Amino acid sequence: MRSIRIKKETTNSILTWVIILIAGVGNTITTSNITLVIVMFFTLYIFIEREEKFDNFFKYFTILYFIFYFIHILKFHYIDFREFREYIKIFYAYIFIKLVYKDFFRLYTNIIYKLALISLFLYALQLYDYSMMKAFIGLIDHNIAFLDYREGWYENLFFFTVNDNGMYRNSGFAWEPKGFGTFLTLAFLFRLFLNKFKLIDKQNIVYLLAIVTTLSTATYSVFLFAVLGFYLLNKKITFKLFSSLLILPIVFLIFTQVDFMKEKIENEFNTSDKYLNYVTDRRDSRELGATSRSLGRFGSMILDYRDFIKEPLVGYGLYSEKRTMYSVAGIKLIRVNGFSDFLAKFGLIGIVFLIYSLFKTFKRVSKQFKFKGYYMIPLSILMTSFASAILLTPMYLSLLFYGYIQNENLPSHKRG
């Protein structure tokens, strides 16, 4: 029995490592369709070997998903296999979380802790000699052509990323510092309820140091709101009042006095029009030769809202080319607002399912791990998605299904 348990623990750890690295979308391998299919079949093999069963909910969900797909085909008169690829991601996400279940939270925090430690060491070297680190991290990319990713300004070696747009920031294993911050913040939240809300411990200190090195406004904002709020909700009332009186002025000072945070937030608001005007006026010579252009959080939200108004119920699905100004004169416009993009893709039906499922998941988790203020975790994910397109990665998709799983190892009255 012990050997079986150890094998299960090891397999679950490997599965969690893989889904985290895929969520980091750091290189060609983690973003590859081939990788997705191979990993999905490997996970399915484990699923079958353990004699797991599909929940009725997921069977019904699959039927409804393909009804959605068929509606999009009828509306746009075109079969887009990207929606089938999306289902593969969903299927993979479901069987993963079904296998790992409650172990996910512990495994996730332990893995992010290790990745954060690696990042702090390599980040120090990055600050010491950026050119050296870029050459080292890009060693494989430079010698294997099909692994070349995002040209010469960006390099990734699975566990660490350097890019010229963040020379003084820590991207960790993810595609950018902001992305790395999303994983760290989630790990901090999970660690709090796993460790009975002990604020200062070895893992949390490492998470916090890594979060500071991201220099990410979005990460700092979500961390201050979600982590501190979640922590205070689970402490005694007298401590809450004392801590609030102490912390709120500090938070206010950070947002009003730290220049890069204040300016970054103001810039996002003030440059929305500039991003949108760019699609019809690209006379700036610096943009010549560009193949894509990010619209920023608020620019993305404006265009996504226009799409939502046109298709409010079921959205556009993965039919990106049908979206408002998807591409102008050959330049692809990149939406970075994951929440508004999800709304435009799946409409009201999709966004209601997303929000309801996240809250259902963490309500169940709060019962299992016995903590209060469960809603702070889904709120932090939704806030994070406003700045990063994370919601359609398999790891985050898996969290949508956690609350629907019928775990046969638990008595029916404890299934959440």
Give the C-alpha separation, 375 to 396, whole Å: 16
Check residue 154 and give its pLDDT: 86
Residue 266: φ, ψ to 5° = -60, -40
CB 16 within 8 A of CB 93: no
d(CA 383, CA 335): 16
**Structure tokens given for 219:** 């990460």
pTM, two decimals, is 0.85
Nearest Cα to Cα of residue 416 among 373, 379, 368, 370: 368
Q: CA 393, CA 36: separation in Å to the nearest integer?
A: 11
Q: How far from the centroid of its chain's Cα atoms is residue 183's Cα? A: 7
Euclidean distance between CA atoms 304 and 262, whole angstroms: 25
**For residues 384 and 16, what is the distance between their CA atoms, to the nearest angstrom?**
21
- Taking the C-alpha atoms of residue 193 and residue 76, their distance in angstroms, rounded to an integer, is 46
pLDDT at 241: 57
Q: How many CA atoms lie within 13 A of 44 on its CB side?
A: 11
pLDDT of the residue at 305: 86
What does DSSP say about strands 327-328 and 331-334: parallel, antiparallel, or unpaired?
antiparallel
- Residues in the chain predicted with pLDDT less than 70, given as ranges, are 1-6, 143-147, 150-151, 237-295, 325-333, 407-416
Task: Let me know: does 326 contact 304? Beta carbons within 8 Å.
Answer: no
Q: Are 372 and 366 in contact (CB under 8 A)?
A: yes
Please, what is the end-to-end C-alpha distance for the chain in angstroms? 28
Q: What is the DSSP-derived secondary structure letter of residue 112?
A: H
Residue 164 per-residue DSSP state: G
Query: Can you give the pLDDT at residue 237?
Result: 60
Q: Determine the pLDDT at residue 35.
A: 95
Report the pLDDT value the prediction gives residue 98, as an integer from 0 to 100. Answer: 97
- Average pLDDT value for the chain: 83
289 and 268 in contact (C-beta within 8 Å)? no
Ranges assigned E (strand) in 164-308: 292-294
Structure confidence by residue, pLDDT tens digits, 306-364: 888 988 999 988 877 777 765 555 566 677 788 999 999 999 999 999 999 999 999 99
Phi, psi of 292 (to 5 degrees): -150, 160
Q: Residue 101 to residues 23, 29, 93, 125, 256: CA-CA distances in angstroms?
A: 18, 26, 11, 37, 41
Helix (H) and strand (E) counts in the chain: 19, 5
User: What DSSP letter does each residue of 165-206 carry, written as one string?
Assistant: GGTTS--TTSSSHHHHHHHHHHHHHHHHHHTTT--SSHHHHH
Output the CA–CA distances (angstroms, integers) from residue 1 to 4, 10, 94, 309, in the order listed.
5, 14, 27, 57
**CA 113/CA 119 separation, integer angstroms:** 10
Handedness of CA 257, 261, 267, 272 (dihedral sign): negative
Tokens of 153: 């300004």
Alpha-carbon span 91 to 376, nearest angstrom: 27
Phi, psi of 5, deg, nearest 5: -65, -45
What was the pLDDT predicted at 121? 97
pLDDT at 79: 80
